[in-house]
Structure 1
Amino acid sequence: MRFYTVILVVMASVLLSACGAHQAGNAPPEVVSQARYVHSGPPALTLFTMVNNRTGAGGHSSLMINGSQRVIFDPAGSVRHETVPERNDVLYGITPGVADFYTRAHARATHHVVVQRIVVSPEVAERALQLAISNGSVGQAQCALSVSAILRQLPGFQGVKSTWFPVKLSESFGQVPGVVTERFYEYDDEDKSVALRAYDPQKVAAQNQ
């Protein structure tokens, strides 16, 4: 096997580990409409980056958008629950409880979550929302690439670099003036399905009242 072929194989394996294979959900429009949630906070974009605690490599990128409704654009994502409708890689009904569950499901013994938030104008948030909804489902290993493509179409974010790599996207996004960065650590079971099975939306809603 030639050297450049070896390099391509290695790169492919890294990218596939970043955003794993999944089948995008296709919730009916009426279900998506019923799940609509309007958050009282300011219009904002929140970039989630899942980072391997051992290697520092990026595991996944997703974007929460608080516009006329709050959604998460989760390209090729694997955190799914029957109470959170998904259509073409967009998760709907992102209440505070759901947002907390989403973050905690990704933070575990093997990974932490970098949460980067920036307040934007209503126009920018709405543009991001429409781009996410119209984007369609994303193929495996393209999470950072698809999120960066949406960001680069927004006023004030044209300087965000187009990249296949979640950590590179996080670094570039962090250079935008006004971005506030936090890191979220938990040490639950490394298997995300454990957190998914344990999620009780009624209990979470009661805790957030």
Structure 2
Amino acid sequence: MHRRLFIFGAPLALAGCGAAEPVWAPDEQVARSVYRHPGPPSLTLYTVRNVGSDSGAHTGLMINASQRVMWDPAGTFKHDTFAERNDVIFGITPQIERIYRSYHARETYYIEIMDLDVSAETAERLLQLVMAYGAVPKAQCTISTTTILKQVPEFAHFRVSFFPEVLAEQFGALDGVRRSEFWEDDSGQNIETGAL
């Protein structure tokens, strides 16, 4: 298994959907990790795509509500310093968001990023839904994300799918979506020079 090592400490594992492992950070760690981003309430859908086939390999969702978190269902983006509760990673500062992107991108995968401003009520509802969902089993990152999104009116029409590219297509068809891509050409074994 390839690993991308970070200078700040323990290794992070390979991108993609891993096994469901319940994780429950203590209240004090979560409270210390809370980050409130000054931007508008928003969602950012990350689709990890294969460079050769363009097929999706993983889905992640950043939610900017009363705090900014990363929903990384069945994901492997882990570190001892992260406050995580069952696939919700707290404290998504701009630096941690950049590390998240860099962690998943390599010569064989790039990240399709879609940003969408939403109402404060929608963002907060989705924050509560991801926090209540529980640990996600392997290969169900997109199913869990779509199931959560469908519980708010703006996304009720979404079709549940195993395939990240199907969710990306539906999300990308919404009015107001802003698209970007993130590419890196490393092998997935490099050592980052940044620190938390």
TM-score normalized by structure 1? 0.82
Q: Which of these two proteins has the greater Rg computed from alpha carbons?
A: 1
Shift of 1:103: 0.8
After the TM superposition, which residues 100-115 of structure 1 pair with which residues of structure 2 at under 5 Å, given as runs? Answer: 100-115=98-113
**Secondary structure, aligned partner of 2:158:** coil
Sequence identity (%): 43
User: 2:94 is aligned with what amino acid?
Assistant: P
User: Larger % of helix: which?
Assistant: 1
Structure 1 ranges of 4+ moved more than 4 A: none
After the TM superposition, which residues 1-209 of structure 1 pair with which residues of structure 2 at under 5 Å, given as runs? Answer: 19-21=17-19, 23-191=21-189, 194=190, 198-201=193-196
Q: Which deviations, in whole Å up to 9, do the C-alpha atoms of 1:45-92 show, x marking residues without a partner?
A: 010000011222211001100000000010010111222211111000
Shift of 1:22: 5.4
Shift of 1:18: 5.4
Unaligned runs of 5+ in 1: 1-16, 202-209
CA distance in 2: counterparts of 1:18 and 1:57, whole angstroms: 13
CA distance in 2: counterparts of 1:136 and 1:105, whole angstroms: 23
Aligned length: 182
RMSD over aligned Cα atoms: 1.6
Question: Which protein has greater RCO, CA pairs closer than 8 Å, 6+ apart?
Answer: 2
User: 2:63 is aligned with what amino acid?
Assistant: I
TM-score normalized by structure 2? 0.87
* Counterpart for residue 10 of structure 2: none
Unaligned runs of 5+ in 2: 1-14
**Secondary structure, aligned partner of 1:181:** strand
